[in-house]
């Protein structure tokens, strides 16, 4: 509704991750640098963590849009609470391999043959595992074993692990010492800084065809940060709500007072946050 009233071509603050609206905050810029470094290395594990709604999925989606598919095959698994053998099957299926009725040994052979085929075709293979905090230790160990496949001294598979903050604690497990030694880069996505909220909102509005309607006051951006702490998904939810109410009331200017009217519905409001 608000997109029609304000003449927008789409809804720039939807909750579903959309790389098209990717905004490079300072913390996302650092994470992208680590991911780029990892891709250049072509081996090991890259670990990106962040709170719920921090933008991990959007970040990786943006990176994937910059990659030449003729040189890199990237597949993604959104993990559930699976054990080692299940993770192996999920990985094989993500590569388009059939696993029904196959033994673990046969599945491993299939995966290795696939990775060799990719390498001979001049393509590297990247496996992205999202929601990695849900993985059992045995599943993470299975991923490490998959990273052992090599051809001519070069790794055949690189793995990105994306997870919530508790995944960092999981990686400290004594059973995962060998995997930790293969992590070549790690980064924790922080919320956006207060000064980044305005360019973030304007950036997403502009991509959606914003022509200056509505106008957000400087105090409105400060109020949005105070309510959301700079977490992208929270910010999207609140701005979407504010724009919807603005469209209903036919507002041309969004100020701090109007933003605060939406606050009571959000359990994550924190007016005590200090701008960074």
Q: What is the Cα–Cα distance from 259 to 262, expressed in whole angstroms?
A: 6
The radius of gyration computed from the CA coordinates of the chain, to the nearest angstrom, equals: 22
Extract the runs of DSSP E, i.e. beta strands, from 93-192. 124-130, 150-151, 154-155, 157-163, 183-189
Q: What is the Cα–Cα distance from 276 to 264, expressed in whole angstroms?
A: 24
Q: What is the dihedral of CA 68, 72, 78, 82, to 10 degrees?
A: 180
Q: What domains are defined for the chain?
A: 2-12+192-265 (1.10.8), 26-189 (3.40.50.300)
User: Tokens at residue 199, please?
Assistant: 């360019």
Q: What is the pLDDT of residue 264?
A: 53
Q: What is the pLDDT of residue 274?
A: 43
Dihedral of CA 63/68/72/75: which sign? positive
Nearest Cα to 45, choosing from 164, 143, 158?
A: 158
Residue 238 dihedral angles phi and psi, to the nearest 5°: -70, -45
What SS3 state is found at 220?
helix
Q: Give one DSSP letter per residue of 9-56, joined into a string.
A: SS-TT-SS--GGG----HHHHHHHHHHHHHHHHTSSEEEEEE-TTSSH
Tens of pLDDT along the chain (276 residues) come to: 889 999 999 889 998 889 999 999 999 999 999 888 888 888 899 999 999 999 998 998 898 888 888 899 999 998 777 888 889 999 999 999 998 888 999 999 999 999 999 999 999 999 999 999 999 999 999 999 999 999 888 899 999 999 999 999 999 989 999 999 999 999 999 999 999 999 999 999 999 999 999 999 999 999 999 999 999 999 999 999 999 999 999 999 999 988 888 765 545 444 434 444
What SS3 state is found at 230?
coil
């Amino acid at each position: 509704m608000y997109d029609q009233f304000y003449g927008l071509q789409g809804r720039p603050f939807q909750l579903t991750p959309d790389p098209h609206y990717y905004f490079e905050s300072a913390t996302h810029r650092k994470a992208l640098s680590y991911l780029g470094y990892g891709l250049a290395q072509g081996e090991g594990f890259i670990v990106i963590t962040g709170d719920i709604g921090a933008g991990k999925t959007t970040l990786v989606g943006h990176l994937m849009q910059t990659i030449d598919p003729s040189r890199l095959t990237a597949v993604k698994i959104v993990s559930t609470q699976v054990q080692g053998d299940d993770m192996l099957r999920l990985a094989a299926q993500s590569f388009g391999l059939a696993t029904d009725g196959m033994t673990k040994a046969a599945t491993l052979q299939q995966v290795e043959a696939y990775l060799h085929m990719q390498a001979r075709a001049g393509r590297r293979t990247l496996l992205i595992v999202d929601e990695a905090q849900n993985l059992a230790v045995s599943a993470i160990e299975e991923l490490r074993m998959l990273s052992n496949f090599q051809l001519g001294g070069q790794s055949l598979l690189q793995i990105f692990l994306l997870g919530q903050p508790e995944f960092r604690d999981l990686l400290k497990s004594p059973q995962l010492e060998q995997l930790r030694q293969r992590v070549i880069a790690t980064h924790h996505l922080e919320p956006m800084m207060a000064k980044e909220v305005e360019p973030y909102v304007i950036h997403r509005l502009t991509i959606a065809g914003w022509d200056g309607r509505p106008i957000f006051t400087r105090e409105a951006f400060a109020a949005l940060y105070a309510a959301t702490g700079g977490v992208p998904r929270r910010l999207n939810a609140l701005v979407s709500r504010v724009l919807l109410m603005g469209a209903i009331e036919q507002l041309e200017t969004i100020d701090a007072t109007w933003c605060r009217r939406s606050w009571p519905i959000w359990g994550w409001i924190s007016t005590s946050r200090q701008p960074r």
